[in-house]
Structure 1
Amino acid sequence: MAADDGFMALRSELDRWQEAGRAATFWWRDDDAVADSAALQQLLDLADAHAVPLWLAVIPAALEDSLPAALAARRAVGVLQHGIAHLDHALPGERKCELGAAWQWDALRTALQDGRERLAAAFGQRFQAVLVPPWNRLHADWIPRLPEAGLVGLSTLGQRQARADLAVVNVHADLIDWRSRQYAGDAAVAAALASHLAARRRGEADADEPSGIMSHHRVHDAAIWDGAARLLALLAAHPAAAWHDPATLWHAAVAEGAPPC
């Protein structure tokens, strides 16, 4: 049995892209970054080993000086804004949400601006003013107002709806099963990516949105690291798989004239 046999669904879908002469593009977002650590170094080394551009969603209020220093020598690592402080402000009965309806917009705008400015000062051109909401959700009324906080993009979970006012690039496969806090498994990760790729190929989803992989290096165990390595090895070996150019990932996602969600 091949080492990546659990990824059969993904490999089969990539074969269909190859037969069609198309490149299946991917991107990788790792959430909850705050500081340098052994886990962060393992993440960076894994990305380097497979020549993968990596995007870190960094929590502004928890940022430590060691993180910018740890990235200084790493070329293919970008930084996004992971909310404000990754604190739950959900109303009673709601799912966890930092950026929910409990906020007044003026206060939320100021908090988002402060976080954006802190990350821009710490990371310079490495930083993109793209919001990654904690728990991948935010109150719908805030989305069209994000540009007022200086944010030009948004990344959550699931197929994107293109917007004229924001660059939207989402993730589609989570390496972690959060109910068990364990590795989701090769088959589950493969199925999620294959499903999005198939929808792109058939015109049922935005064909230009790269299929996104989500990880959380701070809580990875050996099984999650091993699964990530197997997935990256498969993508590196398949002729149809390609990593989206990080230089164009965000501005290329803006759909001119597209209606708001």
Structure 2
Amino acid sequence: MTEDHVWQPLADALQRWRDSGQQPVFWLRDDDAIERTKPMERLVDLTADFRVPIALAVIPAHADPGLASYVDGRKHVRPVVHGWTHENHAPADQKKQELGPHRPAGMVLDELRQSLAKMDDLFARWSPVLVPPWNRIDAALTPSLREVGFSALSVFGPPKPAALPLVNSTIDIMDWHGTRGCRPHAALVAEIVAQLEAARVGHAPAIGVLTHHLVHDEAAWVFLERLFAETAGLCRWVDVDELLAEDAATPGSR
């Protein structure tokens, strides 16, 4: 199958949206930012070329001031909060978590307060959206997140009831349990098309693409460039703050 055939189902799905007089919404979240690197520059330049905003999940405890000066000059990049140290506190027989139930809640919340303070020190522009490392957080913590200072939570998967607004990623381009490179393009396109169809026939969340610039292989970069090209002018790629504002204005949303 040629690459053009792989992408044809997306072109067809976008045409169905266009025929209905609607425009789908996409957003991009990239995780594990610490410092300015060549992969970071490649992602920032690529998204700038296609005018795609990035919610850049920064690990506050390890963030370099050089990252802040680089990001502050690029208006399409919006830093958000990726835990505190991205350190696993779960036992070896459990899935990794930094914000799990394995430590006193007060200790975890204090670290999150430090995260907000560090972000405020580093960045001129950022959003108090919490992206839990490994997309996992103890549900018992979420009622306290707003009083700590967070405005929203972003994990992976379909949204579930939560104590504050959710802006989830829904498409992860990486094959974490296999090659640890980009997932097959055909599989990714099929997932995106399925989510586009669900959104077109009823109220569904924006399609959130999740990336990890530090571990991208060449296939991941090729996929992103083709995705941005295929969707250009046919969908809206929105900033995380815009997405939250639109969700708040939608009847029945959180």
TM-score norm. by structure 1 comes to 0.89
For residues 200 and 63 of structure 1, the distance between their equivalents in structure 2, rounded to whole angstroms, comes to 36
- Once the 2 structures are TM-superposed, how far is the Cα of residue 155 of structure 1 from its aligned partner? 0.6
Asked if structure 2 preserves the Cα contact closer than 8 Å seen for 1:31 and 1:56, the reply is yes
Deviations along 1:222-260, one digit per CA (max 9) or x if unpaired, are 121111111111111xx5312125542223334799699
Instruction: State the match for 1:175 in structure 2.
Output: 173
For residues 69 and 219 of structure 1, the distance between their equivalents in structure 2, rounded to whole angstroms, comes to 23
Structure 1 counterpart of 2:222, from 192, 208, 226: 226
Instruction: State the match for 1:20 in structure 2.
Output: 20
Instruction: State the match for 1:145 in structure 2.
Output: 144
Structure 1 counterpart of 2:213, from 212, 217, 239: 217
Q: CA 1:100–1:259 in structure 2 vs 1: closer, same or farther (change >3 Å)?
A: farther
For residues 73 and 26 of structure 1, the distance between their equivalents in structure 2, rounded to whole angstroms, comes to 23
For residues 70 and 55 of structure 2, the distance between their equivalents in structure 1, rounded to whole angstroms, comes to 14
For residues 253 and 219 of structure 2, the distance between their equivalents in structure 1, rounded to whole angstroms, comes to 42
- Once the 2 structures are TM-superposed, how far is the Cα of residue 4 of structure 1 from its aligned partner? 3.9
Asked if structure 2 preserves the Cα contact closer than 8 Å seen for 1:162 and 1:254, the reply is no
What are the residue-to-residue correspondences of 1:235-254 with 2, within 5 Å? 235-236=231-232, 239-254=233-248
Percent identity over paired residues: 34
Matched positions, count: 253
Instruction: State the match for 1:200 in structure 2.
Output: 199
For residues 223 and 46 of structure 1, the distance between their equivalents in structure 2, rounded to whole angstroms, comes to 14
1:231 alignment partner AA: L
What are the residue-to-residue correspondences of 1:153-168 with 2, within 5 Å? 153-161=152-160, 163=162, 165-168=163-166
For residues 7 and 176 of structure 1, the distance between their equivalents in structure 2, rounded to whole angstroms, comes to 18
1:146 alignment partner AA: L
Deviations along 1:116-160, one digit per CA (max 9) or x if unpaired, are 110122113x21000001111111111222112211101111122
For residues 70 and 170 of structure 1, the distance between their equivalents in structure 2, rounded to whole angstroms, comes to 26
Query: Helix, strand or coil for the counterpart of 1:183?
Result: coil
List runs of 5+ in structure 1 lacking aligned partners: none
| Aligned: 1:33 with 2:33 | yes
Asked if structure 2 preserves the Cα contact closer than 8 Å seen for 1:4 and 1:234, the reply is no
- Once the 2 structures are TM-superposed, how far is the Cα of residue 92 of structure 1 from its aligned partner? 5.0
Per mean C-alpha deviation after superposition, the further-off stretch among 242-251 and 49-58 is: 242-251
For residues 154 and 190 of structure 1, the distance between their equivalents in structure 2, rounded to whole angstroms, comes to 26
RMSD between aligned alpha carbons?
2.2
Asked if structure 1 preserves the Cα contact closer than 8 Å seen for 2:78 and 2:239, the reply is no
For residues 39 and 199 of structure 1, the distance between their equivalents in structure 2, rounded to whole angstroms, comes to 33
For residues 256 and 221 of structure 1, the distance between their equivalents in structure 2, rounded to whole angstroms, comes to 38
For residues 254 and 113 of structure 1, the distance between their equivalents in structure 2, rounded to whole angstroms, comes to 25
Instruction: State the match for 1:5 in structure 2.
Output: 5
1:233 alignment partner AA: A
Query: Helix, strand or coil for the counterpart of 2:127?
Result: strand
TM-score norm. by structure 2 comes to 0.91
Asked if structure 2 preserves the Cα contact closer than 8 Å seen for 1:109 and 1:148, the reply is no
For residues 4 and 68 of structure 1, the distance between their equivalents in structure 2, rounded to whole angstroms, comes to 38
2:185 alignment partner AA: D
Asked if structure 2 preserves the Cα contact closer than 8 Å seen for 1:82 and 1:132, the reply is yes
Q: CA 1:25–1:256 in structure 2 vs 1: closer, same or farther (change >3 Å)?
A: closer
